[in-house]
Amino acid sequence: MLDIVDLHAGTAATAGAPGTNGAGMTEILTGINLHIKAGEVHAIMGPNGSGKSTLAQVLAGRDTYEVTAGSVTYKGQDLLALSPEDRARNGLFLSFQYPVVIPGVNNIYLLQASVNAIRKHRQQEPLDAVDFLVLVREKIAEVQLDESFLHRPVNEGFSGGEKKRNEILQMLLLEPSLAVLDETDSGLDIDALKVIAEGVNRYRRADRALLLITHYQRLLNYVEPDRVHVLMDGRIVKSGGPELARELEAGGYAPIQEALAAAR
Protein backbone atom coordinates (compact mmCIF):
# COMPACT_ATOMS: atom_id res chain seq x y z
CA MET A 1 0.00 0.00 0.00
CA LEU A 2 2.63 2.55 1.10
CA ASP A 3 6.39 2.43 0.64
CA ILE A 4 8.50 5.28 1.94
CA VAL A 5 12.18 5.05 1.02
CA ASP A 6 14.88 7.31 2.46
CA LEU A 7 12.55 10.32 2.61
CA HIS A 8 14.16 13.68 3.34
CA ALA A 9 12.07 16.83 3.66
CA GLY A 10 12.30 20.26 5.22
CA THR A 11 11.36 23.88 4.98
CA ALA A 12 13.06 26.87 3.45
CA ALA A 13 15.46 27.90 6.20
CA THR A 14 15.54 31.06 8.18
CA ALA A 15 19.07 32.32 7.42
CA GLY A 16 21.77 30.87 9.61
CA ALA A 17 19.45 28.49 11.44
CA PRO A 18 21.16 25.38 12.84
CA GLY A 19 20.75 22.29 10.69
CA THR A 20 20.63 24.39 7.55
CA ASN A 21 22.09 22.49 4.63
CA GLY A 22 23.77 23.83 1.52
CA ALA A 23 20.51 24.26 -0.37
CA GLY A 24 19.22 26.69 2.25
CA MET A 25 16.90 24.11 3.76
CA THR A 26 16.17 23.16 7.31
CA GLU A 27 15.80 19.40 7.23
CA ILE A 28 13.07 17.98 9.40
CA LEU A 29 12.76 14.46 7.97
CA THR A 30 16.23 12.98 7.68
CA GLY A 31 15.74 9.66 5.94
CA ILE A 32 12.48 7.85 6.68
CA ASN A 33 11.91 4.25 5.64
CA LEU A 34 8.47 2.77 6.20
CA HIS A 35 6.48 0.01 4.52
CA ILE A 36 2.79 -0.51 5.19
CA LYS A 37 0.77 -3.32 3.62
CA ALA A 38 -2.97 -3.39 3.06
CA GLY A 39 -4.78 -4.50 6.19
CA GLU A 40 -2.00 -3.40 8.54
CA VAL A 41 -2.00 -0.92 11.38
CA HIS A 42 1.23 0.93 12.11
CA ALA A 43 1.82 3.29 15.01
CA ILE A 44 4.39 6.06 15.11
CA MET A 45 5.50 7.42 18.44
CA GLY A 46 8.16 9.99 19.21
CA PRO A 47 9.02 13.04 21.28
CA ASN A 48 7.53 16.48 20.54
CA GLY A 49 9.14 18.07 17.52
CA SER A 50 10.60 14.83 16.18
CA GLY A 51 8.81 15.22 12.80
CA LYS A 52 5.65 13.11 13.09
CA SER A 53 3.26 15.77 11.83
CA THR A 54 5.72 16.82 9.18
CA LEU A 55 5.70 13.25 7.85
CA ALA A 56 1.89 13.23 7.83
CA GLN A 57 1.73 16.59 6.01
CA VAL A 58 4.35 15.57 3.47
CA LEU A 59 2.32 12.45 2.70
CA ALA A 60 -0.78 14.62 2.22
CA GLY A 61 1.12 16.98 -0.10
CA ARG A 62 1.51 20.19 1.89
CA ASP A 63 3.81 22.42 -0.10
CA THR A 64 5.21 24.18 2.95
CA TYR A 65 7.60 21.25 3.02
CA GLU A 66 9.96 20.43 0.24
CA VAL A 67 11.00 16.85 -0.38
CA THR A 68 14.73 16.89 -1.03
CA ALA A 69 15.40 13.16 -1.44
CA GLY A 70 13.73 9.77 -1.36
CA SER A 71 10.50 8.38 -2.76
CA VAL A 72 6.97 7.53 -1.69
CA THR A 73 5.02 4.90 -3.56
CA TYR A 74 1.31 4.57 -2.83
CA LYS A 75 -0.78 1.85 -4.46
CA GLY A 76 1.94 1.49 -7.06
CA GLN A 77 2.08 5.15 -8.06
CA ASP A 78 4.46 7.99 -7.27
CA LEU A 79 2.58 9.72 -4.49
CA LEU A 80 4.79 12.80 -4.53
CA ALA A 81 3.80 13.55 -8.12
CA LEU A 82 0.12 13.97 -7.20
CA SER A 83 -1.63 17.14 -6.07
CA PRO A 84 -3.08 17.08 -2.56
CA GLU A 85 -6.63 16.72 -3.90
CA ASP A 86 -5.63 13.84 -6.16
CA ARG A 87 -4.00 12.07 -3.23
CA ALA A 88 -7.25 12.48 -1.29
CA ARG A 89 -9.32 11.31 -4.24
CA ASN A 90 -7.08 8.25 -4.50
CA GLY A 91 -7.92 7.29 -0.96
CA LEU A 92 -5.32 9.00 1.23
CA PHE A 93 -6.87 10.57 4.29
CA LEU A 94 -5.24 12.74 6.95
CA SER A 95 -6.87 13.42 10.26
CA PHE A 96 -5.27 16.73 11.22
CA GLN A 97 -3.56 17.23 14.56
CA TYR A 98 -5.00 20.74 14.46
CA PRO A 99 -8.19 20.73 12.35
CA VAL A 100 -8.69 24.05 10.57
CA VAL A 101 -11.54 26.47 11.22
CA ILE A 102 -13.38 27.68 8.12
CA PRO A 103 -15.72 30.51 9.12
CA GLY A 104 -18.93 30.89 7.15
CA VAL A 105 -18.83 27.42 5.60
CA ASN A 106 -21.25 24.99 7.19
CA ASN A 107 -19.79 21.65 8.13
CA ILE A 108 -22.39 19.72 6.16
CA TYR A 109 -21.54 21.75 3.09
CA LEU A 110 -17.84 20.86 3.27
CA LEU A 111 -18.69 17.21 3.98
CA GLN A 112 -21.01 16.95 1.00
CA ALA A 113 -18.58 18.76 -1.30
CA SER A 114 -15.77 16.42 -0.32
CA VAL A 115 -17.83 13.24 -0.53
CA ASN A 116 -19.01 14.26 -3.98
CA ALA A 117 -15.53 15.27 -5.14
CA ILE A 118 -14.32 11.81 -4.21
CA ARG A 119 -17.36 10.07 -5.69
CA LYS A 120 -16.79 11.95 -8.92
CA HIS A 121 -13.23 10.63 -9.04
CA ARG A 122 -14.58 7.11 -8.52
CA GLN A 123 -17.05 7.76 -11.34
CA GLN A 124 -20.02 7.52 -9.04
CA GLU A 125 -23.06 9.77 -9.25
CA PRO A 126 -23.01 12.67 -6.80
CA LEU A 127 -25.25 12.31 -3.77
CA ASP A 128 -28.05 14.83 -3.65
CA ALA A 129 -28.87 16.72 -0.49
CA VAL A 130 -31.43 14.17 0.70
CA ASP A 131 -29.31 11.05 0.12
CA PHE A 132 -26.36 12.78 1.68
CA LEU A 133 -28.33 13.73 4.75
CA VAL A 134 -29.37 10.12 5.26
CA LEU A 135 -25.74 9.00 5.00
CA VAL A 136 -24.29 11.70 7.20
CA ARG A 137 -26.89 11.13 9.91
CA GLU A 138 -25.92 7.48 10.11
CA LYS A 139 -22.19 8.30 10.34
CA ILE A 140 -22.50 11.17 12.78
CA ALA A 141 -24.36 8.88 15.16
CA GLU A 142 -21.39 6.50 15.01
CA VAL A 143 -19.05 9.18 16.33
CA GLN A 144 -21.70 10.36 18.80
CA LEU A 145 -21.72 13.96 17.69
CA ASP A 146 -24.93 15.94 17.81
CA GLU A 147 -26.49 16.75 14.43
CA SER A 148 -26.24 20.44 15.24
CA PHE A 149 -22.54 20.16 14.39
CA LEU A 150 -23.52 19.68 10.76
CA HIS A 151 -24.95 23.16 10.63
CA ARG A 152 -22.15 24.99 12.36
CA PRO A 153 -19.20 26.47 10.45
CA VAL A 154 -16.40 23.94 9.98
CA ASN A 155 -14.61 23.46 13.33
CA GLU A 156 -15.63 26.93 14.53
CA GLY A 157 -15.98 26.86 18.28
CA PHE A 158 -15.68 23.06 18.34
CA SER A 159 -13.97 21.76 21.47
CA GLY A 160 -10.75 19.79 21.01
CA GLY A 161 -12.58 16.47 21.33
CA GLU A 162 -15.39 17.59 19.02
CA LYS A 163 -12.87 18.50 16.35
CA LYS A 164 -11.34 15.03 16.57
CA ARG A 165 -14.73 13.33 16.32
CA ASN A 166 -15.45 15.48 13.30
CA GLU A 167 -12.21 14.29 11.68
CA ILE A 168 -13.23 10.67 12.26
CA LEU A 169 -16.68 11.47 10.86
CA GLN A 170 -14.96 12.62 7.68
CA MET A 171 -12.89 9.47 7.55
CA LEU A 172 -16.00 7.30 7.85
CA LEU A 173 -17.76 9.28 5.12
CA LEU A 174 -14.86 9.31 2.68
CA GLU A 175 -13.89 5.63 3.10
CA PRO A 176 -10.19 6.09 2.31
CA SER A 177 -7.77 3.19 1.78
CA LEU A 178 -4.95 4.72 3.82
CA ALA A 179 -5.80 6.82 6.84
CA VAL A 180 -3.13 8.79 8.67
CA LEU A 181 -4.39 9.87 12.08
CA ASP A 182 -2.20 12.57 13.60
CA GLU A 183 -2.80 12.50 17.36
CA THR A 184 -6.51 11.97 16.91
CA ASP A 185 -6.45 10.45 20.41
CA SER A 186 -4.92 13.52 22.10
CA GLY A 187 -7.08 15.64 24.34
CA LEU A 188 -9.94 13.17 24.49
CA ASP A 189 -11.87 12.15 27.58
CA ILE A 190 -12.15 8.42 28.32
CA ASP A 191 -15.52 8.00 26.63
CA ALA A 192 -14.47 9.98 23.59
CA LEU A 193 -11.36 7.85 23.24
CA LYS A 194 -13.58 4.80 23.08
CA VAL A 195 -15.80 6.42 20.46
CA ILE A 196 -12.79 7.28 18.32
CA ALA A 197 -11.33 3.78 18.75
CA GLU A 198 -14.62 2.22 17.73
CA GLY A 199 -14.73 4.48 14.69
CA VAL A 200 -11.23 3.41 13.76
CA ASN A 201 -12.06 -0.28 14.18
CA ARG A 202 -15.17 0.16 12.07
CA TYR A 203 -12.98 1.62 9.35
CA ARG A 204 -10.50 -1.30 9.40
CA ARG A 205 -10.68 -3.77 6.55
CA ALA A 206 -8.34 -6.17 4.78
CA ASP A 207 -7.88 -3.71 1.92
CA ARG A 208 -7.31 -0.66 4.13
CA ALA A 209 -4.29 0.47 6.08
CA LEU A 210 -3.81 2.79 9.04
CA LEU A 211 -0.97 4.95 10.27
CA LEU A 212 -1.57 6.11 13.83
CA ILE A 213 0.55 8.92 15.20
CA THR A 214 0.18 8.92 18.96
CA HIS A 215 1.83 9.72 22.26
CA TYR A 216 -0.08 7.17 24.28
CA GLN A 217 -0.61 3.47 24.72
CA ARG A 218 -4.31 4.09 25.46
CA LEU A 219 -5.56 4.08 21.87
CA LEU A 220 -3.40 1.08 21.07
CA ASN A 221 -5.24 -0.89 23.75
CA TYR A 222 -8.31 -0.62 21.53
CA VAL A 223 -6.62 -0.69 18.15
CA GLU A 224 -3.88 -3.29 18.22
CA PRO A 225 -1.01 -2.22 15.90
CA ASP A 226 0.96 -4.65 13.77
CA ARG A 227 4.08 -2.51 14.03
CA VAL A 228 5.22 0.32 16.29
CA HIS A 229 7.92 2.79 15.17
CA VAL A 230 9.85 5.33 17.15
CA LEU A 231 10.60 8.59 15.34
CA MET A 232 13.44 10.76 16.62
CA ASP A 233 15.14 13.69 14.90
CA GLY A 234 13.33 12.94 11.67
CA ARG A 235 14.24 9.25 11.45
CA ILE A 236 12.77 5.96 12.55
CA VAL A 237 15.23 4.79 15.14
CA LYS A 238 13.46 1.70 16.41
CA SER A 239 10.63 -0.56 15.28
CA GLY A 240 8.90 -3.42 17.00
CA GLY A 241 5.60 -5.09 17.79
CA PRO A 242 2.84 -3.84 20.10
CA GLU A 243 5.07 -4.48 23.13
CA LEU A 244 7.32 -1.57 22.07
CA ALA A 245 4.53 0.90 22.78
CA ARG A 246 4.10 -0.56 26.26
CA GLU A 247 7.83 -0.30 26.91
CA LEU A 248 7.80 3.37 25.89
CA GLU A 249 4.80 4.04 28.08
CA ALA A 250 6.68 2.61 31.04
CA GLY A 251 10.21 3.94 30.41
CA GLY A 252 9.90 6.93 28.10
CA TYR A 253 12.33 7.74 25.31
CA ALA A 254 15.46 8.03 27.50
CA PRO A 255 16.57 4.38 27.18
CA ILE A 256 16.39 4.60 23.39
CA GLN A 257 18.26 7.91 23.35
CA GLU A 258 20.96 6.45 25.59
CA ALA A 259 21.29 3.34 23.44
CA LEU A 260 21.61 5.56 20.36
CA ALA A 261 24.26 7.69 22.02
CA ALA A 262 26.22 4.61 23.12
CA ALA A 263 26.12 3.18 19.61
CA ARG A 264 27.71 6.33 18.18
Partner 1 sequence: MSDELKTIESITSQEYKYGFVTDIEQETIPPGLDEDVVRLISAKKSEPDWLLEWRLKAFRHWTKLQAAGAEPTWAKVKYPPIDYQKIVYYAAPKSMPALSSLDEVDPKLLETYAKLGIPLEEQKQLAGVAVDAVFDSVSVATTFKETLAEAGVIFCPFSEAVQKYPELVRKYLGSVVPYTDNFFAALNSAVFSDGSFVYLPKGVRSPMELSTYFRINAANTGQFERTLIIAEEGAYVSYLEGCTAPMRDENQLHAAVVELIVLDDAEIKYSTVQNWYPGDKNGVGGIYNFVTKRGACRGDRSKISWTQVETGSAITWKYPSCILQGDDSIGEFYSVALTNNYQQADTGTKMIHLGKRTRSTIISKGISAGKGQNTYRGQVKIMPGAQGARNYSQCDSLLIGDQCSAHTFPYIDVRNASAQMEHEASTSRIGEDQIFYCRQRGISTEDAVSMIVNGFCKDVFRQLPMEFAVEATKLLEVSLEGSVG
Ligand X SMILES: Nc1ncnc2c1ncn2[C@@H]1O[C@H](COP(=O)(O)OP(=O)(O)OP(=O)(O)O)[C@@H](O)[C@H]1O
Contact of residue 54 among Mg ion, ligand X, partner 1, none (CB under 5-8 Å per partner type):
ligand X
Q: Are 127 and 155 in contact (CB under 8 A)?
A: no
CB of 10 to ligand X, least distance (A): 8
Give the three-state DSSP class for 79: helix
Q: What's the rounded Cα separation, in Å, for the pair 140 and 117?
A: 20
Among positions 1, 32, 53, 178, the unique one binding ligand X when judged by CB under 6 A: 53
Burial of 166 (0-12, 13-18, 19+ CB in 10 A): buried
Contact of residue 50 among Mg ion, partner 1, ligand X, none (CB under 5-8 Å per partner type):
ligand X
Task: Name which of 123 and 263 has its Cβ closer to partner 1.
Answer: 123
**11 forms part of the interface with ligand X (CB under 6 A):** yes
Among positions 30, 50, 53, 112, the unique one binding Mg ion when judged by CB under 5 A: 53
**30 forms part of the interface with ligand X (CB under 6 A):** no
Task: Name which of 20 and 97 has its Cβ closer to ligand X.
Answer: 97
**90 forms part of the interface with Mg ion (CB under 5 A):** no
Contact of residue 72 among ligand X, partner 1, Mg ion, none (CB under 5-8 Å per partner type):
none
**E strand segments, 2-122:** 2-12, 25-36, 41-45, 66-74, 77-78, 92-95, 102-106
* Residue whose C-alpha is closest to residue 184's, from 204, 205, 161: 161
**62 forms part of the interface with partner 1 (CB under 8 A):** yes
Number of residues that bind ligand X (CB under 6 A): 12
Cα separation of the two ends of the chain: 34
Give the three-state DSSP class for 63: coil
- The sheet with strand 66-74 has its strands ordered as 25-36, 2-12, 66-74, 77-78
Which one of the spans 45-53, 163-171, 172-180, 219-227 is the region binding ligand X (CB under 6 A)? 45-53
Q: What's the rounded Cα separation, in Å, for the pair 166 and 99?
A: 9
**94 forms part of the interface with partner 1 (CB under 8 A):** yes
Q: Which residues bind partner 1 (CB under 8 A)?
A: 60-64, 83-85, 87-89, 93-94, 96, 99-106, 109-110, 113-114, 117-118, 121, 153, 170, 174
